[in-house]
Amino acid sequence: MSPVDTSATKLGLRERKKQQTRETITHAALRLFAERGYDETTLADIAEAANVAPRTIFSYFESKEDILLCEENGFLSELKRRLDERPAGMTTVDAIREFLSSIEHPDEEAKLRKQVIAANPDLQVKMRGRHAQLEPMLAESIATDLAAEPGDIRPLLIAASMAAAFTSVSDRIFAAESAGKPLAPEEGMAILDQVLEFLRGGLEALQSDS
């Protein structure tokens, strides 16, 4: 085996170890948040449960909030990358549909994360703040679709509709029984796809008028 191959193997092992540590911290934190409450759980508690030093946590996460909402950060970052790197001729709607089709159905950990957030009003506000990043991201992409001039309000309106559709369906998938019958993931994605198809027609009409 060449030195280059050995180096690549070591790098792969190191990255896998880092990913494993990150997941261990996340799992431990979610379990404590659910058992004790988010506010009552400290970073020291999480470090002890994950069997890592407290300083190790800061190598992976900026704060307790970052641990809880890490999946949201990853979702937004990956969506932005898909929109920025979409090939010529692919619309925002097509890029979103392709992206959503690649997402796995929510597992028990995802449901637990939503339950922790739903039980804490402050976290709900912070979650809405994260979701607020979605609209300008979509608006920028839609403005490219429409070759819109600065100040054109149409991309903002369409982006607001897309963001509202996504958050509404997501909320229903994770809804508690007391808030009404939750949507099955497949049903929610089918509804979201219908809305996106409707918006695609509107975008195409606007493009033809431009």
Output the domain CATH number for residue 75: 1.10.357.10
Q: What average pLDDT does the segment 182-197 reach?
A: 80
Q: How many CB atoms lie within 10 A of CB 138?
A: 26
Are 57 and 92 in the same domain? Answer: no
Are 149 and 191 in the same domain? Answer: yes
> In the listed set 17, 35, 65, which residue is the last one of a domain according to the structure?
65
Question: Could you give the angle at the alpha carbon of 203 between the alpha carbons of 200 and 207, nearest 5°?
Answer: 140
Number of domains present in the structure of the chain:
2
- Closest-CA residue to 106 (of 75, 80, 137, 76): 75
Tell me the helices (H) and strands (E) count for the chain, helix number first.
11, 0
> In the listed set 13, 43, 65, which residue is the last one of a domain according to the structure?
65
Under a CB-based contact definition with an 8 Å cutoff, are residues 111 and 174 in contact? yes
Are 81 and 148 in the same domain? Answer: yes
Under a CB-based contact definition with an 8 Å cutoff, are residues 25 and 60 in contact? yes
Structural tokens at position 121: 């009003």
Confidence check: pLDDT of 118 > 80 = yes
- Closest-CA residue to 127 (of 87, 167, 176): 167
Are 108 and 133 in the same domain? Answer: yes
Are 17 and 75 in the same domain? Answer: no
pLDDT of residue 18: 87
Q: What is the dihedral of CA 6, 11, 14, 16, to 10 degrees?
A: -110
Are 50 and 104 in the same domain? Answer: no
Assign 7 a pLDDT band (cuts: 50, 70, 90).
very low
Going by the DSSP 8-state scheme, the letter that residue 63 receives in this structure is S
pLDDT of residue 9: 46
Are 166 and 84 in the same domain? Answer: yes
Q: What average pLDDT does the segment 97-122 reach?
A: 81
For residues 39 and 33, what is the distance between their CA atoms, to the nearest angstrom?
A: 8
For residues 28 and 114, what is the distance between their CA atoms, to the nearest angstrom?
A: 16
Are 48 and 134 in the same domain? Answer: no
The proportion of the chain whose per-residue pLDDT surpasses 70, expressed as a percent, equals 87
What residue numbers bound the domain in which 38 lies? 3-65
Are 23 and 76 in the same domain? Answer: no
- Closest-CA residue to 103 (of 84, 123, 82): 82
Are 205 and 115 in the same domain? Answer: yes
Structural tokens at position 31: 């379990």
pLDDT in tens, 163-180: 888 888 877 776 554 455
For residues 173 and 183, what is the distance between their CA atoms, to the nearest angstrom?
A: 5
Q: How many CB atoms lie within 10 A of CB 16?
A: 10
Could you tell me the maximum CA-CA distance found in the chain, to the nearest angstrom? 61
pLDDT in tens, 123-133: 988 888 887 88
> In the listed set 65, 89, 114, which residue is the last one of a domain according to the structure?
65
Are 133 and 109 in the same domain? Answer: yes
Confidence check: pLDDT of 192 > 70 = yes
pLDDT of residue 5: 42
Q: What average pLDDT does the segment 98-107 reach?
A: 76
Q: What average pLDDT does the segment 7-29 reach?
A: 80
Are 184 and 198 in the same domain? Answer: yes
CATH of residue 23's domain is: 1.10.10.60
Question: Could you give the angle at the alpha carbon of 170 between the alpha carbons of 168 and 176, nearest 5°?
Answer: 95
